[in-house]
């Protein structure tokens, strides 16, 4: 069983890097492995001076700080996992600073490796031959955002005579806070991270299956993720980017609730239906048009055309009643929710939308 060294480069302890790295650690420990877990922002590691003194002496750095703790930890371990948030399509500065300070692990002598790639000859066996894996999380939608980072880590592994052991890449990472929006996918992502921890301490490599589990899309397309990101940041300004209040507010946003409702439209049951429902969210001043036509349901901005039905309500009443946290009947009879136009459509919503059934 291998000993895993986790080098964390995330300054934020409530974030997605921390959460996913914790799952990898859990998988490693559950499998019987040992883990040494180091948070780089908690250490004093200064930037490389580029003086090359370590290449002129026996590999001793002129800077006296916590870097020796890292060298010792790398020496003790069998596998290394770097965990970093994606910052400007690259690693966080904590990881970058650490990597620069690994210069004493190689010498000034340039050699060709087994792949005819010229590298500085490793000075000793501290990192040589060890598997190096990468975990990173990002805000944007596409895994393409990690392209530069992955290439960099592959080169770093090869440059140190180590092997690249795989990658756990998680775009749209803020959505991990909202498992309610995609329960199965987020459960698979978490399972993939746990499995990867087991693989690292047993085989020293992350399988493609678990890489794919972790990096799978949560939202069906970029435009939905962009809409949800807008909602997330709207409430983050009020409640902060994490915590119960933020969680509640995002999941009780009228636009998000209506988009989730639209997602449950049954194209078979609604294939001949044609109607528009205008939602007026009075306390927020928002208006959304839910349109059903040709077996497709969309949420958009209102047009000048008269809607089939208008539903007027405050945000709290609309979302709680649509989320079945309060009775729609009570909301209507108390006047908190008003229906104008074809109320028969309202009665049939359960037929067209599984979320409303």
Segment 102 to 161, residues that bind ligand FMN, using CB under 6 A: 137-140, 145
Residues near ligand FMN (CB under 6 A), total: 18
With binding defined as CB under 6 A, does residue 315 bind ligand FMN?
Answer: no
Binding mask 164-193 for ligand FMN (x = CB under 6 A): ---------xx-------------------
Instruction: Please name which of 53, 354, 20 lies closest in space to residue 173, comparing C-alpha atoms.
Output: 20
* Contact between 83 and ligand FMN per CB under 6 A: no
> In terms of CB distance, is 40 or 278 closer to ligand FMN?
40
4 near 28, Cβ under 8 Å? Answer: yes
Binding flag, residue 10, ligand FMN (CB under 6 A): yes
Q: How far is the CB of 68 from ligand FMN (least distance, A)?
A: 27
Q: Cα dihedral sign for 60, 65, 68, 71?
A: negative
CA distance 87 to 12: 13
Using the minimum distance from each CB to ligand FMN, give the nearer residue, 118 or 221.
221
DSSP, residue by residue, 174-231: GGGG-GGGSHHHHHHHHHHHHHHHHHHHHTSS--HHHHHHHHS-SSSSHHHHHHHHHH
Smallest gap from Cβ 11 to ligand FMN, in A, equals 7
Other CB atoms closer than 10 Å to residue 10's CB: what's the count? Answer: 26
Give me the residue whose beta carbon is nearest to ligand FMN: 15
- Which of 139/341 has CB closer to ligand FMN? 139
Stretch that binds ligand FMN, among 11-19, 227-235, 282-290, 298-306 (CB under 6 A): 11-19
**Are β-strands 275-281 and 286-293 bridged in parallel, bridged antiparallel, or unpaired?**
antiparallel
User: Quick one: which segment of 67-75, 85-93, 153-161, 197-205 binds ligand FMN (CB under 6 A)?
Assistant: 85-93
Does residue 45 contact residue 127 with C-beta atoms inside 8 Å? no
C-alpha to C-alpha distance for 226 and 128, rounded to whole angstroms: 43
In the 8-state DSSP scheme, what is residue 126? S
For binding to ligand FMN (CB under 6 A), which residues are involved? 10, 12, 15-18, 85-89, 137-140, 145, 173-174
């Amino acid at each position: 069983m291998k000993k895993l060294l986790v080098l964390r480069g995330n300054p934020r302890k409530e974030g997605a890097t921390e959460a996913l790295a914790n799952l990898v650690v859990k998988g490693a420990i559950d499998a019987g492995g040992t883990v040494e877990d180091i948070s780089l922002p908690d250490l004093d590691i200064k930037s490389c001076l580029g003086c090359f003194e370590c290449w002129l002496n026996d590999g001793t750095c002129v800077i006296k700080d916590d870097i020796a703790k890292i060298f010792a930890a790398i020496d003790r371990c069998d596998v290394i996992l770097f965990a970093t948030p994606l910052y400007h399509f690259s690693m966080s500065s904590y990881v970058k600073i650490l990597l620069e300070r690994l210069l004493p692990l190689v010498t000034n002598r340039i050699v060709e490796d087994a792949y005819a790639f010229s590298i500085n000859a490793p000075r000793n066996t501290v990192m040589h031959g060890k598997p190096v894996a990468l975990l990173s999380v990002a805000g944007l939608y596409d895994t393409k955002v990690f392209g530069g980072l992955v290439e960099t880590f592959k080169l770093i592994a090869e440059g140190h005579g180590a092997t690249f052991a795989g990658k756990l890449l998680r775009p749209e990472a803020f959505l991990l806070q909202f498992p309610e929006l995609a329960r199965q996918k987020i459960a698979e992502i978490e399972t993939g991270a746990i499995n990867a921890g087991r693989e690292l301490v047993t085989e020293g490599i992350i399988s493609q299956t678990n890489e794919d589990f972790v990096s799978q899309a949560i939202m069906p397309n970029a435009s939905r993720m962009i809409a949800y990101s807008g909602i997330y940041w709207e409430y983050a300004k009020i409640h902060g980017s994490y915590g119960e209040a933020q969680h509640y507010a995002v999941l009780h946003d009228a636009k998000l609730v209506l988009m989730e409702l639209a997602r449950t439209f049954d194209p078979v049951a609604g294939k001949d239906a044609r109607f528009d429902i205008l939602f007026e969210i009075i306390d927020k001043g928002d208006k959304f048009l839910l349109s059903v036509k040709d077996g497709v349901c969309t949420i958009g901005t209102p047009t000048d055309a008269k809607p089939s039905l208008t539903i007027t309500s405050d945000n709290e009443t609309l979302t709680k009643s649509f989320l079945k946290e309060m009775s729609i009947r009570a909301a209507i009879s108390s006047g908190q929710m008003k229906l104008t136009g074809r109320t028969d459509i309202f009665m049939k919503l359960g037929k067209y939308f599984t979320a409303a059934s």
